[in-house]
A and B are shown apart, each in its own frame.
Chain A
Amino acid sequence: MADYLMETKDLGISFGGLKAVQALNLSIKKNQLYGLVGPNGAGKTTVFNMLTGVYKPTFGNFYLDGENLTGKNQETINRKGIARTFQNIRLFNNMTVIRNVMVGLSSRPEYKCSILTSVLRLPHHFRIEREMREKAKELLRIFDLEDDRNNLSCNLPYGKQRKLEIARAMATNPKLLLLDEPAAGMNPNETTELMNTIRLIRDKFDMTILLIEHDMKFVSGLCDELTVLNFGTVLAQGETRQVLNDPNVIKAYIGE
């Protein structure tokens, strides 16, 4: 168990009679780029929602670093070290870019500052604010967003919004980063740039990343291992090249 950062054991969920995901066993090593692919409606985002606590799994458990996080609420899971992005971008639109990242930073224990301290404007408050600002700038520099930091996040171009969402997730200091279709709606240039960014995150922060993606070039260029879902069940699992050549997988995607 210690070898794997993230493990799910027979994870499953049913909505009434519909078994959306069944018997999912994922084992993700530290510093790995893991892909979760499958046709539309296969249950990929449902898996993400279970891992982040939006849904409570009906069956099975999942572990982060050996700690069982099944059934915990979203906020706790985030603090334990799972951060995510969304399929349709969910930024804090009426806030500037840097503030978006600072919201992500605010749940970290090192930036703890009670409400009373803030209201009374004690020196601790100013120190924390300054530190958060510096840290946020640092993060934005990595994602090449530093020059946009005072723009409203809704005014950013699409590719940058994606990046900002990843930056905000990274700000919570996760151990595992879940990316839900990061390349959706991007042009080829942006996709290549995003691939570089994701690799950079992995190397720079020593991050483990689980991502959902439809763009096969993206997946094959990036992921070390894959799990293919179809109708909530695992179709294939293993090394990327092996999985993509699996006749079952090809059948599920493009038919006989």
Chain B
Amino acid sequence: MVINNQRSRLSRIKWNHFANYIVIALSTTLFSILSFSGNLKISTIYLLEKISISILLALSLSLVVGFLGELSLGHAGFMCVGAYLGGKTAALLEPILGNGILTFIIAIAVGGAVAAVCGFVIGLPALRLKGDYLAIVTLAFGEIVKSIFQNTSADTFGGALGLKTPRYNREYLFIYAFIIVIVALAVIQNLMRSKHGRAITAIRDNEIAACATGINVTKYKLIVFLVSSLFAGIAGVLYSYSNFQVQSAKFGYNYSIEILVMVVLGGMGNINGSIIAATLITFLNLKLATVLTGDLAVLQNLLYSLLLILIVIYNNAPALSRVRGKYNLKSLIAKVKKPKVDPAIQNDDKAYWANIPTKIEMDEIISVDATPQDPYKADPPKKEK
């Protein structure tokens, strides 16, 4: 009885809710084994770090764009704040604490916290502004942050030359980064799969109704902006560690758009989609940059944009809906694992009309040449095709 109970509890766990953690954890383990055994090229490790940063950014932005339904074009700004503040903290702490895990954690905390404060400040106008207007405010924020750091003196934040930040052991950094990704994923996923997440999606779907249903819209909007910018800031700190140099020119409008592209391609409000899109886009970007060199470098942006257009068309064009229905992940998974249908288990609730034979089929089943054909019986109605 006890075993039975335990089994039912185990089977009650929705494993597909954890699929993304498992995939990320397994691939991280695989890559770290490869890395420790010395089979990983530096360029691959660099790519992994970039991918983890992109996933973190896409996850955090999808909270604002996908779940709250507000357009934010200044996500790179939060990242910039995190990168500079975290990088500076690490640079200051390096002589005292050494370049160890402690410095890393403190830098992450500082970068994330300052970015979160910025997110809170940007969240305040978000309560009054809607749609395009908020997008412009966030856009302006990103540009302001960028130019502030650009115009600092050389001994504070490095100015236009950029801030030098400590190097971190390449073998470990991407593992830490992916651990942070898993933590962020857990926080965002758990938040969205709770009553608070329902409230946030309710605000997206219909703000007036959400207000009238007693949801504290102010609170939830601020929380979303805060959490989102916190993780963007942490991604910035990771970036500073991965690049060991922070240049504010990198965090321009283009970068914000690139993050937005990841979220949109992954499907608004689809966490796993954002992760996949972030991985693919980062991979594509870096590969194109390494493959197309010399004269062909011009083609880089062209190819990238072309691919984006094709992906968007494939995902959304009504004319391609048939193709999409045939070749997608769901049908692929369904092909691989056969649905287990046990008629004994199938209770009434799950009984599916298509599985129940119609009257005519029933007659055919029963009349296995034993009963003579009734000559007066009307022809069975033709089945519609």
Contacts and interface: CB of A to CB of B under 8 A. Distances in A.
A1 interface: no
Contacts, number: 96
B196 A103 contact: no
Contacts of B198: 95, 99, 102-103, 106
Size range of the interface on A?
A: 35 or more
B201 A78 contact: no
Interface stretch (B96-104, B206-214, B277-285, B363-371): B206-214
B199 interface: yes
Contacts of B194: 113, 115, 118-119, 125, 129
Contacts of A94: 201, 204-205
A78 B208 CA distance: 13
B191 A90 contact: no
Interface stretch (A10-18, A39-47, A79-87, A190-198): A79-87
Given A92-B206, A103-B199, A74 B191 contact: no
Nearest to B204: A94
A203 interface: no
B330 to A, nearest CB: 18
Query: Which has the most chain B C-beta neighbours within 10 Å: A84, A106, A111?
Result: A106
Given A103-B199, A111-B195, A118-B191, A95 B212 contact: no
B190 interface: yes
B187 A107 contact: no
Nearest to A125: B194
B215 A107 contact: yes
Contact of A121 (B190, B199, B212, B217): B190
A168 interface: yes
A92 B201 CA distance: 8
B212 A52 contact: yes
A21 interface: no
A91 B186 CA distance: 29
B331 interface: no
B215 A106 contact: yes
A93 interface: yes
B93 interface: no
A113 B211 CA distance: 19
B191 A104 contact: no
Nearest to A108: B214
Given A94-B205, A95-B202, A107 B214 contact: yes
B187 A129 contact: no
Interface in A144-177: 168-169, 171-172
Contacts of A79: 214
B197 to A, nearest CB: 8
A95 B190 CA distance: 17
A210 to B, nearest CB: 15
Given A118-B196, A119-B187, A78 B213 contact: yes
A226 interface: no
Nearest to B197: A118
Contacts of B212: 52, 54, 74, 78, 83-84, 86, 90, 169
B47 interface: no
Contacts of B186: 119
B205 A113 contact: no
Contact of B211 (A75, A115, A119, A132): A75
A103 B202 contact: yes
Contacts of A222: none
Contact of A115 (B191, B208, B209, B213): B191
Interface in B187-241: 187, 190-191, 194-196, 198-199, 201-202, 204-206, 208-217, 223
Given A90-B206, A94-B201, A103 B213 contact: yes
Contact of B205 (A74, A83, A95, A111): A95
A75 B221 CA distance: 14
A128 interface: yes
Contacts of B190: 118-121
A132 B195 contact: yes
A95 B204 CA distance: 11
A90 B196 CA distance: 20
B234 to A, nearest CB: 16
A95 B201 contact: yes
17 contacts: A54-B208, A75-B216, A78-B211, A90-B212, A91-B206, A92-B202, A94-B204, A95-B205, A103-B213, A104-B214, A115-B191, A115-B223, A119-B186, A119-B194, A125-B194, A132-B195, A169-B212
Given A104-B213, A115-B223, 7 more contacts: A54-B212, A94-B201, A106-B199, A107-B213, A118-B195, A119-B190, A171-B213
Interface of A: 52, 54, 74-75, 78-79, 83-84, 86, 90-95, 99, 102-104, 106-107, 111, 113, 115, 118-121, 125, 128-129, 132, 168-169, 171-172
